[in-house]
Amino acid sequence: MTTQYSTNVVEGMQALYGKGFLSPGGAEEMAALLDGVDLAGRTVLDIGCGLGGAAVMLAGTFGAAYVTSIDVDEGLVVRARETISGAGLSAKIETHHVTPGPLPFDDASFDAVFAKDVVCHIPDKAALFGEVARVLLPGGQVICADFTVPSGPDAAPHLYNAWIDAMKAYGLTFRFEQLVVYEEAFSRAGLGPPCVKDDTARSLEAARREVAWVRGPKAGPLKEALGEEMFARRVDASMRRRDALAGGGIHHTHMLARRLTQAD
């Protein structure tokens, strides 16, 4: 069984973001991202299932009829199955370990595709969204959240680079892009123009709470789990993300789009 995430990193992230989550925001962001989205009775592909927390909410909280969750990290898939089983949702959620590349599903297989803070791991955004459009039913929905790189005079690349370096020291690497890269990938894939919501303000407040938590007394068990050196890197990464969000080094963005139909 292979995994890119050590046990300590996984335990640390769940302590910060909630059981089943590897990325900032956890259940709170799920509620914001899916506000107004109707998944009741629908089939959903969950790309980058991580520890399974999002899949549990898609099937449990938001009423999806069936969720198919995939991840390229075999160790995370095993952990996701444990989370899903613990929630009593194994009958509504299936998990698969996949290899990078084309999605292993037939054309027009899903009503919706969900990807929260995972596309940032994938170098070729256009290829991914091409596959997303292929497996979506006509009119099907893409629900995507990701960190995006600002452009223009208000951008602060030094804050962005400081956060990236801090995450590398913690053992995580990403491939962030500007919002226009996503928009162009959507268009090339045959997806409609995304409805874009700037989630930076909410993400910043979450980052501030995270910094207060990791620097406070409740972080003792996390520090013990990670060890002195790794915990110091975790604190630095949390502070750098807060600073990047506050100073224009990075944005957090929600994107909703649909696969175009012949009528479009």
**Domain limits, the chain:** 7-151+173-203+250-257
- What was the pLDDT predicted at 153? 85
The per-residue pLDDT of the chain, averaged, comes to: 93
Residue 44 pLDDT > 90: yes
Q: How far is CA 241 from CA 31, 60, 74, 107, 116, in A?
A: 21, 30, 28, 38, 17
74-90, pLDDT tens digit by residue? 999 999 999 999 999 99
Give the C-alpha distances (Å, rounded to integers) separating 144 from 68, 135, 175, 186, 228: 16, 15, 15, 11, 35
Mean pLDDT computed over 113-117: 96
Q: Tell me: the pLDDT tens digits for 199-251? A: 999 999 999 999 999 999 988 888 888 889 999 999 999 999 999 999 999 99
User: What's residue 3's pLDDT?
Assistant: 54
Beta bridge partners of 114: 46, 143
Total-model pTM: 0.93
Locate the DSSP E strands across 2-122.
Answer: 43-47, 66-71, 93-97, 110-116
pLDDT 10s digits, 139-179: 999 999 999 999 888 899 999 999 999 999 988 888 999 99
Range scoring the smallest mean pLDDT among 9-18, 44-53, 178-187: 9-18
CA 121 to each of CA 2, 31, 65, 183, 207: distance values in angstroms, whole numbers, following the listed order: 17, 23, 28, 17, 20
Residue 4 binned pLDDT confidence (cut-offs 50, 70, 90): low
54-76 pLDDT, tens digit per residue, is 999 999 999 999 999 999 999 99
Share of the chain above pLDDT 70, in %: 98
Confirm if 146 and 121 have CB atoms less than 8 A apart: no
Q: What is the pLDDT of residue 12?
A: 76
The CATH fold assigned to 7-151+173-203+250-257 is Rossmann fold (3.40.50)
Q: In the chain, pLDDT over 90 holds for what percent of residues?
A: 80
**pLDDT bracket for residue 2 (50, 70, 90):** very low
Q: What is the pLDDT of residue 1?
A: 45
Question: Could you tell me the two tokens for 49?
Answer: 């299932």
